[in-house]
Amino acid sequence: MNQKLKHYLEITRKELRGIIVFLIILLLIYLTPYLFEKLITPSSKITVETLDPQIKDIESFDQKGEKSTKENFSQNENLQTVLFNFNPNNLAIEDWMKLGLSEKQARTIKNYEAKGGRFKTKADVEKMYSISASTYEKLAPYIQIPDENSPGFKDKTLEMNTAKIENVKSTSPKVILDINKADSAEFTQIKGIGPAFASRIVKYRNRLGGFYKKEQLQEVWGLDSIKYAQIENQTIISNIQLHQININNCTFDEFKTFPYLSYKQMNAIINYRIQHGDYKALDDLNKIMILNTDVIKKIAPYITLK
C-alpha cells in the first residue's frame, strides 16, 4: 500500500520544472494589472478632468462654425440698403445687392432660378437658405409676387426666352448650307458652329443615314433649342435617299450604330424575325412588346422590308 501511494506521489524532474513554469506564469498574470498601472504615467490616464478641456474646445469650434455660417449669409446686412417693392422672380443680381444681399447670396438665388425654380409666394423666398431670418423680415413687406391667374400676368422667364430666340432668329445668316450634303469644314462656316459641333453633326448624320427634317439637328449632343434657333435660318435640307436598314435580313452589326434603338430593341426585332419569319408590313413591329408607336414612327423612314 505504501509503495503504491509513493508511486502516485513521486514527481520527476521534468514534471517539477513544468510545475515551476506554470506557477511563474500564474504569478505574472496576477501581477500584470499592478505592473501596467505603475508603468503608465498619470498624465496618460483618461478621466473626466482630462476630457473636459477637449469638450470645451469642440463646443467652442461648433459655436465658431455656426457663427461663421451665419455671418457668411448675413455679411451684407449691416451695409446700407435700399428697400423698394420688388418681384423676386428674375430680379437682377444688382437689385438683390441693393436690397442688402451679398453677391454670393444673390448668385445662389439666380442659380435656383436657372434650374427652373420660381417664387410663387413669399414663403418660397423665406425658404431660401441664402436669406437669413432677419433679412427676410426686412424684405417681406416689399415682396410683390403677381397672381399667375390674373389676366395681365405674363411669365417673364418664358417672355425672356422667347425674346432671346426671336433675337437669334432675326440675325442675318452669313451662309446657307444643306445639312445633308455639307462636310465638317463647311459646317464651320455657319455662325455659331465650331469644329466640335460640325464634327458631331456629320457623325450623327452618318449614324442616322441622313436627315429627313431639320429639327433632327437638335438630337445632336449639345445642340439645344437656343443653338438650333440660331442656325436654323442658315441651313436647308435636301430630299436625299436615306440609308435604310432591311429588317428582314439585317444582322446586329448592321443595326448597332443606329441611334434611335437600344441594343435590346435591336435584338428583339431580329429575334422576332427568326421566330416568326419575315416582316410583311411595318405594322408587324407593333407586335414587339418593347417597341411603342412613337419609336416605330421615328424609325420608319430608316426601315425597309426588301
pLDDT in tens, 193-227: 889 989 999 999 999 999 999 999 999 988 888 88
Q: Is the pTM of this model over 0.95?
A: no
Residue-wise pLDDT for 129-139, tens only, equals: 778 888 888 88
Q: Which of 130, 133, 137, 134 is nearest to 72 (CA)?
A: 130
For the residues 47-56, what does the mean pLDDT come to?
Answer: 54
Residue with cell 448675413: 74
Kindly tell me the sign of the dihedral angle through the C-alpha atoms of 181, 187, 192, 197. Answer: positive
State the chain's mean pLDDT as an integer. Answer: 79
Distance CA 108, CA 87 (A): 17
CATH class of the domain at 71-146: mainly alpha
Q: Mean pLDDT over residues 78-104, rounded?
A: 81
Least confident residue range of 45-59, 176-190, 275-289: 45-59
Categorize the per-residue pLDDT at 18 as very low, low, confident or very high, splitting at 50, 70 and 90.
Answer: confident
Query: What are the structural domain ranges in the chain?
Result: 71-146, 177-236, 245-304
For 245-304, CATH number out of 1.20.120, 2.60.40, 1.10.150, 3.30.1480 equals: 1.10.150
CATH class belonging to 177-236: mainly alpha
- Number of helices (H), then strands (E), belonging to the chain: the values are 14, 4
